[in-house]
């Protein structure tokens, strides 16, 4: 009897364990199938870069619900507008995106009480090439297409970035085909829309400087002023003053040219400066040796100044004699080794 009771208890315990395990699995399965709230749904989404940018001459396929009177193909006119059937006035299209235009069409249909809840889609069937020109101090100046809303930084990146001779400002000029742009309509074709400080643009101190560009715009990256260092220096050449607000001194220019050579006549350096007259020029004598020792003023160079460091004839002769002596010594040593 006790044996049968033991078997019964063991069996009951086994059944109970299976039931508990199955319940836990069902509970776990139910929990895993519950929808997880998305964090992104709580965040406002931006369609700033949504859709493709519409330009003058583009042919659009506009579909509104199943309304055949409104749906169809439309072309953006030379003023950057599109005339939608049943709407009282044309809508601005050029310079906007397909998403923006679809939203405005739906809004106008509701505002004018044509449809209660319109659903609008806009597609570009045939796009006329939209370009912006990038000139000046960039790695790859040229003409670049813009399909989506494009900012100044986007265009500079397309052009390979700023060149080593880039200055501290750029200018955006309004092109003749930039219709539909709010900023563009404020200026005549060929007139500068704005001048942007490149340091502020790159440092993101003022985000308003990263403006949108539109088809036909011309972005010119201004070149930095330069000074020239020639003569007996390690690396003669032109050196840019990156920031117009800063200044370059004689010693800074010599340092950028990798310093004077051993044969340089430091006491007879000259700064050649163009005057207001195109024919006249000014020559300023400077003693680099005293400047380097702090015994004379380190003069500030102006844009397009030429710093000439002459070669000392005596030092050059001594250097040549030294080279000749070295060669003779090598020749004697070689002769001695052979014989």
Taking the complete model, does pTM exceed 0.75, yes or no? no
Q: How many CB atoms lie within 10 A of CB 120?
A: 22
Which class for 292: exposed (0-12), middle (13-18), buried (19 or more C-beta within 10 A)? middle
* Domains of the chain, start order: 59-126 (3.30.1950.10), 131-223 (3.10.560.10), 226-314 (3.10.560.10)
pLDDT at 202: 87
Nearest-CA neighbor of 219 among 132, 150, 105? Answer: 132
pLDDT digits 0-9 by tens, 251-288 = 999 999 999 998 888 888 999 987 666 567 788 999 99
The mean pLDDT of the chain is: 76
Q: What pLDDT is stored for residue 320 in this prediction?
A: 56
E-only strand ranges, 236-335: 237-240, 248-249, 269-274, 281-286, 300-301, 306-309
* Contact in structure between 141 and 159 (CB atoms under 8 Å): yes
- For residue 167, pLDDT over 60 is answered with yes
Give the model's pLDDT for residue 306: 92
Could you tell me which of 125, 126, 121 has the C-alpha nearest to residue 70?
A: 121
Number of other residues whose CB lies within 10 A of the CB of residue 109: 23
Closest CA to 215 of 304, 133, 317, 102: 133
Give the CA-trace dihedral at 215, 221, 222, 225, to 10 degrees. -170
């Amino acid at each position: 009897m006790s044996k049968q009771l033991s078997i019964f208890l063991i069996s009951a315990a086994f059944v109970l364990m299976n039931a508990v395990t199955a319940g836990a699995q069902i509970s776990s399965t139910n929990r895993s199938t519950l929808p997880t709230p998305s964090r992104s749904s709580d965040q406002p989404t931006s369609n700033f870069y949504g859709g493709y940018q519409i330009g003058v001459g583009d042919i659009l396929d506009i579909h509104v619900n199943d309304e055949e009177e409104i749906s169809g193909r439309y072309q953006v006119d030379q003023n950057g507008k599109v005339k939608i059937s049943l709407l009282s006035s044309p809508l601005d299209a050029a310079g906007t995106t397909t998403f923006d235009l679809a939203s405005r069409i739906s809004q106008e249909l509701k505002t004018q009480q044509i449809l209660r809840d319109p659903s609008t889609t806009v597609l570009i069937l045939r796009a006329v090439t939209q370009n912006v020109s990038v000139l000046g101090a960039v790695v790859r100046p040229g003409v670049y297409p813009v399909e989506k809303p494009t900012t100044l930084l986007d265009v500079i990146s397309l052009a390979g970035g700023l060149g080593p001779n880039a200055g501290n400002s750029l200018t955006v000029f309004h092109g003749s085909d930039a219709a539909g742009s709010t900023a563009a309509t404020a200026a005549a074709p060929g007139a500068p829309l704005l001048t942007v400080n490149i340091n502020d643009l790159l440092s993101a101190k003022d985000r308003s400087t990263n403006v949108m560009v539109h088809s036909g715009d011309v972005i010119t990256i201004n070149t930095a002023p330069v000074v020239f260092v020639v003569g007996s220096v390690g690396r003669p050449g032109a050196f840019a003053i990156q920031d117009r607000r800063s200044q370059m001194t004689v010693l800074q220019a010599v340092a950028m040219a990798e310093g004077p050579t051993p044969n340089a006549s430091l006491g007879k350096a000259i700064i050649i400066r163009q005057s207001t007259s195109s024919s006249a020029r000014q020559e300023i004598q400077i003693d680099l040796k005293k400047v380097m020792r702090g015994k004379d003023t380190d003069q500030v160079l102006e844009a397009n100044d030429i710093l000439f460091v002459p070669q000392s004839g005596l030092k050059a002769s001594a250097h040549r004699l030294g080279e000749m002596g070295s060669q003779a010594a090598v020749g004697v040593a070689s002769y001695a080794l052979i014989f």
